[in-house]
Amino acid sequence: MWREGCFEAGRVVCAALILVLCVSLAHGNAQSKILSDLLQDYDVNEWPHSEFKRPTTVKVQMFINSFGSLNAANMDYTIDVFLRQRWNDPRLRLKSGQKRITVSNPQTRAKIWKPDTFFNNVKEAEVHQVSMPNILLRIGNTGDVLYSMRITLRLSCNLQLENFPFDAQQCNTLLASYANTDDVIKFRWEDSVPIDLPDNLEIAQFDLLDHSTHEIKQEFVTGNFSGLLVKFSLRRQNGYHVLQTYVPTILIVSISWVSFWLDPNAVPGRVSLGVTTLLTLTTLASGIRASLPPVSYVKAIDVWVGMCMIMVFGALLEFTLVNWLANRKVAPDCQSVFRIPKVLASFDEEVGWQRDQEGEEEKEAEKHVEKGGQGAASAEEESPKTPATYIGHARALDRLCRAAFPGAFLLFNIIYWPYYLTQQSIEATIT
């Protein structure tokens, strides 16, 4: 009994599968017959409204599936879009009572007229083929045609980098008909939602501020062509460059100031510190330039790196001057000419000046009292003195630079950041 029940159930399942297969084949045969009847006298070279002597209106909608980051070095950007085009073809009206037909056969799609849409500023384009070609051609009962495809586009964008990385950019996507003039095809944006964006759309290093759509007319020697334009307004995020460029350069400049606290005669330490910071900053600047195009104008990042190099190189030059002063002998007739200001003099140097002055007065008094042989005897008792140098002046210069270099860099920051952040806000408002 159990075997007979399983056998009966298997027969029922097989009968159901055969019935579904027959219905599918019949439906497929019916669609193939409808399409063959529609395309029997169909001329793919004639636009839908050629017999009415008027252009065919093609309505376009774009769904931005993903928006790639702008490539400053190549001046382009990448978008993944669903390009949807709708038009009416009176020759494709269905007379069988069906609401719509989806054409999946590539050979059949090739027999139906479609607009020759192309992107003017495209560098590379690819229609997705996994797991089947991502192309949809649907025909309605009134002759309305929906032609949709998924495309990845790499489009050129003329970037203005004067305020990089505090810049705001405007990138365009321009599409038009390649061969059919505006008396054959007129492109129009979809009335409701011409550009559809996902809610969670993210762009690396950029914020999408706004987008606008326009209908344009292109005039060439081959004729006038209808086209569509969409403008994307973007503002660069500053967090990445602050962490990767500005913070490291600030630290490098600050490290170069450590040499002002070292002794003027500490040649190995001060030279190695100055050269190391300068080479590190040069390497960092080379990495920044590699990611940017070789434009002729000065960018905001160039101003920053240039100022940092001036600060580091200035600290190295300051050591050269300080070391020269520390080892230069003082001439007897120039001792009172180069006097260190008391503000820059240390406590020991101020006390030393007072002692030297008192000692000179005592020596002058002794010279008047002592005579002849006594002076000769005292001269013999005196030990030879070490020649005096400008070591005090060198240390005073170091003390001055301890405040002058950080103060100058702070003043530069007070001017730099408000100026370029304001410029970015102005650019974002204009675009």
CATH of the domain at 153: 2.70.170.10
Q: What percent of the chain has pLDDT over 90?
A: 54
The model's pTM is 0.78
Say if 405 falls within a structural domain: yes
pLDDT score at 343: 58
Q: Among residues 237, 269, 300, which one ends one of the domains?
A: 237
Q: Among residues 192, 219, 237, which one ends one of the domains?
A: 237
Same domain, 284 and 136: no
- Backbone φ and ψ for 414, nearest 5 degrees, come out as -65, -30
Q: Among residues 171, 205, 237, which one ends one of the domains?
A: 237
Q: What is the mean pLDDT of residues 235-248?
A: 92
Amino acid at 191: D
Same domain, 53 and 163: yes
Say if 23 falls within a structural domain: no
The answer on pLDDT for 46 being more than 50 is: yes
CATH of the domain at 398: 1.20.58.390
User: What's the pLDDT tens digit per position in 133-182?
Assistant: 999 999 998 999 999 999 999 999 999 999 999 999 999 999 999 999 99
Spatial distance between the Cα atoms of 16 and 22, rounded to a whole number of angstroms: 10
Q: Which residues pair with 124 in a beta bridge?
A: 154
Amino acid at 244: Q
Same domain, 297 and 171: no
Higher pLDDT, 366 or 109: 109
Say if 410 falls within a structural domain: yes
Domain count, the chain: 2
Same domain, 154 and 262: no
Same domain, 221 and 250: no
Higher pLDDT, 17 or 328: 328
Q: What is the secondary structure of 361-418 as a DSSP string?
A: HHHHHHHHH--HHHHHHHHHHSPPPPPPBSHHHHHHHHHHHHHHHHHHHHHHHHHHHH
Say if 24 falls within a structural domain: no
User: What's the pLDDT tens digit per position in 295-316?
Assistant: 889 999 999 999 999 999 999 9
Same domain, 224 and 275: no
The answer on pLDDT for 28 being more than 60 is: no
Return the beta strands (E) in 272-338 as ranges: none
Same domain, 69 and 205: yes
- Backbone φ and ψ for 145, nearest 5 degrees, come out as -115, 130
Other CB atoms within 10 A of residue 288 CB: 19
User: What's the pLDDT tens digit per position in 185-201?
Assistant: 999 999 989 999 998 88
Say if 180 falls within a structural domain: yes
Same domain, 170 and 299: no
pLDDT score at 338: 55
Spatial distance between the Cα atoms of 315 and 143, rounded to a whole number of angstroms: 78
Same domain, 157 and 183: yes
pLDDT score at 24: 43
Same domain, 163 and 284: no
| Nearest residue to 213 (alpha-carbon basis) of 189, 179, 187 | 189
Same domain, 219 and 258: no
pLDDT score at 402: 92
Collapsing DSSP to helix, strand or coil, 329 comes out as: strand
Same domain, 73 and 164: yes
Say if 190 falls within a structural domain: yes
Run of H or E including 285: helix 267-290
Q: What is the mean pLDDT of residues 382-395?
A: 67
Say if 362 falls within a structural domain: no
Domain that holds residue 287: 240-329+394-430
Say if 64 falls within a structural domain: yes
Residue 165: is the preceding peptide bond cis (ω within 30°)?
Answer: yes
- Backbone φ and ψ for 91, nearest 5 degrees, come out as -75, -15
User: What's the pLDDT tens digit per position in 338-356?
Assistant: 566 655 655 455 444 444 4
